[in-house]
Structures are given as structure tokens and as C-alpha cells.
């Protein structure tokens, strides 16, 4: 910490000069994000950058915009909603936060069921392919869930649904399938996974669900492959995450998680706060949140 302050112009010049040593974002083709938006979007961002939009009472229109996005995405992913029923979901800081929230919902729902049955609930696990993005490993480590990975093999670089179902046991909170693998962009066979898991659930009496990590494919499959069944058309798919910044013309930092229904998001994970005004339900990992377009 310097002993004395310096003029704002000097501070700007020092920081600006240092930032010149960064890479050129327009040349960055390797970080799963795009780096250009239309000038109108830049203006909207700058006009709203001073809003802390977690304060829904103060910024109701911003909240309404988020709710519209959640509803549009839920319908795009074929959520079983009534004509006037609101979708269940939330905007997040990319798919990493979305996956943390979805994983917490699965863990809590599994724990509640085990408690009600009088069974141990201290050793949850989650089944994924070894090709998952690092945020799944973070979720498992941060929230004390065993990560059971299906190993990849030569010529098959995504999760094998049959091997994934073999790893499922009574402590499995969910199986995570990827629609758009980090390694090669390939879609995993969510339909086959659902069918095999339905059979295993019938045999065992379990109700192991599926989460679809559609960060890289959620805004591609509905348009290019509308007949592909990977979303809420499959009964065991209980939640889906998707990123907004992997498809072009959007800066990094926006994502969503959508749940199939209210029953799939335990009520005790939703906080109701009133010290900013009216009652405000919130389910996020961070409280303060800047404006995302």
C-alpha cells in the first residue's frame, strides 16, 4: 500500500500500461468464450454496471429479464410446464456456479430421502465420465461428494452409459451427462443413459436421477438436432445447466440452471431475505451480483 495517493490520471496510465502486456482477447481462441459483442450490448452493460441486481425490490425490471430468460430456456429444453406455470431456475455466473447449485440440490434431496428411511447419509457419490470439466471435480471436493468417473477408452472419448450405470449404487445422488464434451464437443447418449437407469431403478427400488451439463451444447442441439432426446423429455433428467458465452457475441460470465419442477429443488436451499425490502427468495453462491446481458 503506497504511503501517499497519486492523481487518478497517473493511476489510470500505470494500470493501462500494464494491461497492454495481456494477450489480445480477439485472438483468444482457446478459453471457451467469445470476446466481442455488438456496441448496443456494450452500452447496455455500461448503463447497468452500477446495479447490484440481487436487490430485486430495487431493480424489478432486471429481475423480470432474468425470469424471462429462465422461462424461455425451460421451454426450449421441454420442461413439463403448465400454460401459465413459471419455470424453476436461476441465472448464474457461468455454468460452474450452475453446476454447484444443481449438485447441492441433488445432494440435499438424496440426504433427505436417506434420513426419512433411517439410512446412513454421510457418503454421497456422483457418477460422471472422466471427460468432465474441472468444475465437477471442484463440486465433489468442495461439497464432500465422492466422484466416480467412468474411464475413457481408445476411440470412445465420452462417458459410456452402460458403464456409468454399473457404477451407480444406493449412495449415488445423480449421474451427470455432458452435452458437448470439453475434450471434443461430442454429445453423450443421454437417452440411452436414461433408459438404462430406468431399468436399474426398477430393479433396485432406487430413484437415481440425471443432470445434463449442456454448457457447450444446450443452445445447439434444440436447433440443429431437434429430434434428439436429451432434455426434460426424458423422465430422469431433473436439471440442466447451460452457458450463455460459448456460442458467439456474448462476453464471459453468464449461465443458467433449470430444474424440471419445484419438487426437484429442495425448499430449504432457498433463502428468503427481507433486509433489502420485500421478501426475496435467493439461491446463489454469491450475494452481490453485477449486471449480465
pLDDT above 80 for 270? yes
Looking at residue 276, its pLDDT comes to: 67
Question: What's the mean pLDDT in 6-22?
Answer: 97
Question: What's the mean pLDDT in 16-33?
Answer: 86
Question: What's the mean pLDDT in 12-33?
Answer: 88
**pLDDT-above-90 percentage for the chain:** 77
Q: Model confidence at 293, in pLDDT bands (50, 70, 90)?
A: very low
Residue 65, SS3?
Answer: helix
For residues 163 and 275, the model is more confident at: 163
pLDDT above 90 for 247? no
Question: What's the mean pLDDT in 117-138?
Answer: 97
**Quick one: which of 290, 285, 250 has its CA closest to 90?**
285
The region of weakest confidence among 35-49, 60-74, 102-116, 279-293 is 279-293
DSSP-assigned letter for residue 245: S
Question: What's the mean pLDDT in 263-282?
Answer: 85
Q: Report pLDDT digits (tens) over 177-206.
A: 999 998 899 999 999 999 999 999 999 999
Which grid cell is 39? 456496441
DSSP-assigned letter for residue 110: H
Looking at residue 279, its pLDDT comes to: 77
For residues 111 and 249, the model is more confident at: 111
- 164-195: string of b/e by CB count within 10 Å (b at 16+)? bbeebeebbbbbbbbbbbeeeeebbbbbbbbe
- CATH number for the domain formed by residue range(s) 43-282: 3.40.640.10
Looking at residue 273, its pLDDT comes to: 79
Residue 193, SS3?
Answer: helix
pLDDT above 50 for 124? yes
Kindly report the average pLDDT of the chain as a whole number.
93
Looking at residue 249, its pLDDT comes to: 86
CA distances from 2 to 5, 6, 12, 23 (A): 7, 9, 15, 28
Looking at residue 157, its pLDDT comes to: 96
| 179 contacts 188 by C-beta, under 8 angstroms | yes
Give DSSP secondary structure letters for 186-233.
PBP-HHHHHHHHHHHHHHH-----EEEE-TTTTTTHHHH-TT---STT
pLDDT above 90 for 119? yes
> What are the residue boundaries of the structural domains of the chain, listed by start?
43-282
pLDDT above 70 for 172? yes
| Cα distance between the two ends of the chain | 35
Looking at residue 291, its pLDDT comes to: 54
Looking at residue 239, its pLDDT comes to: 98
Half-sphere exposure for 55 (CA within 13 Å, toward CB): 10
CA dihedral 184, 33, 127, 238 (to 10 degrees): -120
Angle between helices 134-142 and 94-116 (to 10 degrees): 40
* 214: β partners: none
Q: Model confidence at 290, in pLDDT bands (50, 70, 90)?
A: low
* 147: β partners: 126
Amino acid at each position: 500500500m503506497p504511503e501517499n495517493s497519486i492523481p487518478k490520471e497517473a493511476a489510470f496510465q500505470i494500470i493501462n500500461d500494464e494491461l497492454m502486456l495481456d494477450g489480445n482477447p480477439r485472438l483468444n481462441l482457446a478459453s471457451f468464450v467469445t470476446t466481442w459483442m455488438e456496441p448496443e450490448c456494450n452500452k447496455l452493460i455500461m448503463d447497468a454496471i452500477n446495479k447490484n441486481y440481487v436487490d430485486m425490490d430495487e431493480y424489478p425490471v432486471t429481475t423480470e429479464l432474468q425470469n424471462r430468460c429462465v422461462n424461455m430456456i425451460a421451454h426450449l429444453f421441454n420442461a413439463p410446464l403448465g400454460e401459465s406455470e413459471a419455470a424453476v431456475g436461476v441465472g448464474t455466473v457461468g455454468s460452474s456456479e450452475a453446476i454447484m447449485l444443481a449438485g447441492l440440490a441433488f445432494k440435499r434431496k438424496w440426504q433427505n430421502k436417506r434420513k426419512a428411511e433411517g439410512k446412513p447419509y454421510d457418503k454421497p457419490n456422483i457418477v460422471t465420465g472422466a471427460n468432465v470439466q474441472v468444475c465437477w471435480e471442484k463440486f465433489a471436493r468442495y461439497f464432500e461428494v465422492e466422484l466416480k468417473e467412468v474411464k475413457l477408452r481408445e476411440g470412445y472419448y465420452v462417458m459410456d452409459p452402460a458403464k456409468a450405470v454399473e457404477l451407480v449404487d444406493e449412495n449415488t445422488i445423480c449421474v451427470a451427462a455432458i452435452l458437448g464434451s470439453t475434450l471434443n464437443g461430442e454429445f453423450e447418449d443421454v437417452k440411452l443413459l436414461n433408459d438404462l437407469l430406468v431399468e436399474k431403478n426398477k430393479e433396485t427400488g432406487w430413484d437415481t436421477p440425471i443432470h445434463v451439463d449442456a454448457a457447450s451444447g444446450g443452445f445447439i442441439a434444440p436447433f440443429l438436432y431437434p429430434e434428439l432426446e436429451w432434455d426434460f423429455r426424458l423422465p430422469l433428467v431433473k436439471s440442466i445447466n447451460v452457458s450463455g458465452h460459448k456460442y458467439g457475441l456474448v462476453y464471459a460470465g453468464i449461465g443458467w440452471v433449470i430444474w424440471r419442477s419445484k419438487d426437484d429443488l429442495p425448499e430449504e436451499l432457498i433463502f428468503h431475505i427481507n433486509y433489502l425490502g420485500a421478501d426475496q427468495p435467493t439461491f446463489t453462491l454469491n450475494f452481490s451480483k453485477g449486471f449480465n446481458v
